[in-house]
Amino acid sequence: MDVFWRSPFRLLMMAVLCSACSANNDGLRTQADLTREVRSVEDYRLQIGDEIEVKFFLSPELNQEVVVRPDGKISLQLLDDVAAAGLSPMELDAIITEKYRKSLREPEVSVIVKKLAAKVYVGGEVRQPRFVAHSGSLTALQAVFEAGGFTDTAEPASSIVLRRISRDKGIAAKVDLKKALYAQVEDVALLPSDIVFVPKSTIAEINQFVEQYIRKVIPVPFSVVAPPAIVGAGGF
């Protein structure tokens, strides 16, 4: 499960599937739903790259500072690897305590987050898809600008923000970054490990289809002009 969450695009698929029961016709949550979910997330969830300290009050010789590895696990003395990514510090504390009962009479363990590897991923129709540092305050629009801005084929009005709210659960919310750009709606505050996905516009998808499937088969000039309704509704 932890390896699954390492890939931003696998997270995208997982979150969309998790949102399939939404009342929204396109299967995605609304921006308001995303805000409510933020308020329901009480504990920080550990992620890859976080630095944590594991303290043993009665066995200080076992104290360690470790980093959550790319596979989502940590290595501790006397134990096999322990899955950490996606857990709250309290949940990891309980798991480590239980595992050490086999070798310690009364394990008293504390998990302390020393340093956050805070980042979000911005993908899709942006000029430089990449991870963006989350310095404590970051919005979806700011993250897009950090990734070079929208491409000419982007559909900002149908952007998606994906959020992991537990170890094995994520949500996907449709957000209108076109309106956010013009301050017509409030921008979305991001949390560490969020994903922002900007889809391709309808007319861009049509032109790509023509390029891939029509021009290669029919050796004549061929172009598509979007109806006024499509031009007016999509694009940036």
pLDDT digits (tens, 9 = 90+) for 24-83: 444 566 666 665 555 444 467 888 889 999 999 999 999 999 999 989 999 999 998 999
Return the bridge partners of 177, or none.
none
pLDDT at 200 over 50: yes
Report how far apart the first and last C-alpha atoms of the chain are (Å, whole number): 37
The rounded distance, in Å, linking the Cα atoms of 107 and 180 is: 51
Please name the residues in contact with 8: beta carbons below 8 A apart, sequence gap of 6 or more.
121, 123, 195
Type of residue at 217: V
Q: Is the pLDDT of residue 204 over 60?
A: yes
Q: Which one has a higher pLDDT value, 205 or 55? A: 55
Instruction: Determine the distance from the C-alpha atom of residue 89 to the mean position of all C-alpha atoms in its chain, rounded to a whole number.
Output: 19
Q: How does strand 130-133 pair with strand 119-124?
A: antiparallel
The C-alpha atoms of residue 185 and residue 143 are separated, in whole angstroms, by 17
Query: What is the pLDDT at residue 76?
Result: 95
Task: Output the pLDDT for position 21.
Answer: 43
pLDDT for 234: 43
Q: Average pLDDT in the 116-128 region? A: 90
- pTM value? 0.59
Cα distance between residue 103 and residue 150, in whole Å = 55
Q: All domains of the chain, ordered by start, with CATH?
A: 4-43+117-200 (3.10.560.10), 51-115 (3.30.1950.10), 203-233 (no CATH)
